[in-house]
Amino acid sequence: MSDLIRQSAAVLAEAIRRREVSAVEVTTAHLDRIGAVDDQVHAFLHVDAEAALAAAAGVDARIAAGEVLGPLAGVPLALKDVLTMHGVPTTCGSRILQGWRPPYDASVVERLRAADIIILGKTNMDEFAMGSSTEHSAYGPTRNPWDLDRIPGGSGGGSAAALAAFEAPLAIGTDTGGSIRQPAAVTGTVGVKPTYGAVPRYGLVALASSLDQAGPCARNVMDTALLHAVIAGHDPRDSTSLDVPVPDVVAAAQRADVRGMRIGLVRQLTGEGYQAGVSQRFEEAVRILEHLGATIVEVDCPSFDYALGAYYLILPSEASSNLARFDGMRYGLRLGDDGEHSVEQVMSLTREAGFGAEVKRRIMLGTYALSSGYYDAYYGSAQKVRTLIQRDFAAAFASADVLVSPTAPTTAFRIGEKVDDPLAMYLNDIATIPVNLAGNAAMSLPVGLAAEDGLPVGLQVMAPAMADERLYLVGAALEAALRDQWGHLLIEEAPAL
């Protein structure tokens, strides 16, 4: 394996800036890695090698000309296939968008390009971000580089797997109920769901508009902070975008100090229902934070017990509305367009063939929840629970600066193990969903391997809205302590492919 692909994004960027290595060499090394291992991992749906190398050559030319570029210039990145990219296939993991090439860039993509980050291609995902395992992609499952028989999490398993397989040092994911954090947990990587509205959603193909949030992913906390700083900030094209200053997440990651911080253990997100090895690593991490100078307090969030039920009413309801636009009339797949079928028949045939089973399930659930006579009983009640969850968070943050929990109740399970049991699959997000319902910020970072299976365990840090910097204070401090304990970063232990 090339030494270049093992380096952090920050190290690569500095080497490129000093002209110790070229951006073209770094990009080529990662493209070679994709070529060598992605037939086993299937992290990517589309690799744009020609455009990536051209962008890298442009970075090298500008550095040679004496230009001062951004802190991640020349560093390669894997982009989740739910964000539009001009002229590049965007499928959202679905057949219904097969062949669609958007005529515009998402805001996040514009910011990546402006920062001279090299986009390698688009990563696999559960169809329209509906899933926790990346098994619901129309283009086949992604596999976990730690064990190719296991899932890489979802819906953003492709982005997390690309990091863990050393196919890219940076990635972008999206998080509606845990789709950045849960994949990070089971692949031994770092993933952040920023405050809702802190990263613009323009060009992010909507699943549930009140929950979706794009965010940064990497193999360590500092790289994640550097990428967070690139993509965050107000965008007038997004009506939900927050017009407030971006917290200095890079400075927080550099400071890496939890002395005097109050860290809350959420009673509802620990204990029963969690794999023993997950609980063990989590408890050890909490003791390390206490040793580093934090005060540990227990907090009670009783409405969290109802978060899963509320989420699986709100999300399908919003999805049933958002996905109505995929009708075979304007873009993507179209079946029955032979002059013998009516418009309604074309729509029906296209949606029947274009959507997978999980997407159909959630569209039907959402349509039912919004139907006449049931709206108040289901969708309306779920929104009331959402308000209670927001109040529980507010009360908890009155006594704690951040909250912590395991990110996922188990390590990575085997491919096919839960795919036919929707409830078992939905329970993977039991610890991550409350944050999305409240709009707060959260991070998952690796805290070791479970004793019973040797697979990565993630710890979740939760912060109030627009206090994203607290995630990086805690995450970087814990990461440094664990690195001192292990002598290396966890991801370096991933099996070679």
Alpha-carbon separation of residue 176 from 37, 241, 258, 318, 440 (angstroms): 29, 16, 28, 12, 12
CA distance linking residue 256 with residue 461, whole number of Å:
14
CB 477 within 8 A of CB 292: yes
47 forms beta bridges with: 121
From the list 22, 107, 133, 155, the catalytic residue is: 155
Sign of CA dihedral 225, 228, 230, 234: negative
User: Is residue 179 annotated as a catalytic residue, yes or no?
Assistant: yes
What tokens appear for 494 in the block?
A: 């991933």
From the list 133, 179, 317, 405, the catalytic residue is: 179
CA distance linking residue 331 with residue 84, whole number of Å:
14
Strand, helix or coil at 261? coil
CA distance linking residue 396 with residue 8, whole number of Å:
35
CA distance linking residue 302 with residue 392, whole number of Å:
7
From the list 80, 122, 193, 418, the catalytic residue is: 80
Half-sphere exposure of 257 (CA within 13 A, CB side): 5
User: Is residue 155 annotated as a catalytic residue, yes or no?
Assistant: yes
CB 120 within 8 A of CB 31: yes
CA 7 to chain centre: 21
What tokens appear for 154 in the block?
A: 């979802």
* Helices assigned H by DSSP within 139-231: 157-164, 181-187, 221-231
Closest CA to 431 of 457, 453, 401: 457
Alpha-carbon separation of residue 495 from 32, 70, 78, 308, 473 (angstroms): 18, 33, 21, 34, 30
CB 451 within 8 A of CB 380: no
Closest CA to 374 of 424, 306, 316, 430: 316
Active-site residues, by number, are 80, 155, 179
